[in-house]
Amino acid sequence: MSILRNVKSLVPLFDRVLVQRVKPETKTASGIFLPESSVKEQNVAKVLAVGPGTVDINGNKVPVSVAPGDHVLTPPFGGSPVKVGEEDYTLYRDSEILAKINGE
């Protein structure tokens, strides 16, 4: 029995942000499968958990700039990969996250 059975048990440390990449759509809304070349690769991910932030040299807390549930744009490289079951996740430092994506 694995210690890490559920991604919800992962508590990021410092300013780390746990995300899961949003899989690109591979079929249309009406259920037609898209040829692979037409599937856009985007570094869009959903934030699952964030660390408590860091403390600067004057002792002030520096909170993480994103929150669980946010959709974010992640950098094309970097981050620490984590596999839980069959799913892939990534841990980034907060400052590596490029942008938040506002909902509509």
Residue in 59, 67, 69, 87 binding a second copy, rule: CB under 8 A: 59
Query: Under DSSP, is residue 64 helix (H, G, I), strand (E, B) or coil?
Result: coil
- For residues 31 and 64, what is the distance between their CA atoms, to the nearest angstrom? 38
Q: What backbone torsions phi and psi does residue 49 show, to the nearest 5 degrees? A: -160, 150
Query: If binding is defined by CB under 8 A, does position 35 make contact with a second copy?
Result: no
Query: If binding is defined by CB under 8 A, does position 75 make contact with a second copy?
Result: yes
Residue 64: C-alpha distances to residues 2, 18, 50, 97 (Å): 29, 12, 7, 10
Q: Please give the size of the binding site for a second copy, defined by CB under 8 A.
A: 52
Residue in 20, 29, 38, 87 binding a second copy, rule: CB under 8 A: 29
Residues listed for the chain: 104
Query: If binding is defined by CB under 8 A, does position 36 make contact with a second copy?
Result: no
DSSP state of 77: S
Q: Which residues are at the interface with a second copy (CB under 8 A)?
A: 1-6, 9-14, 16, 18, 22, 24-25, 29, 40-44, 51, 55-60, 62, 65-66, 71, 73, 75-76, 80-84, 91, 95, 97-104
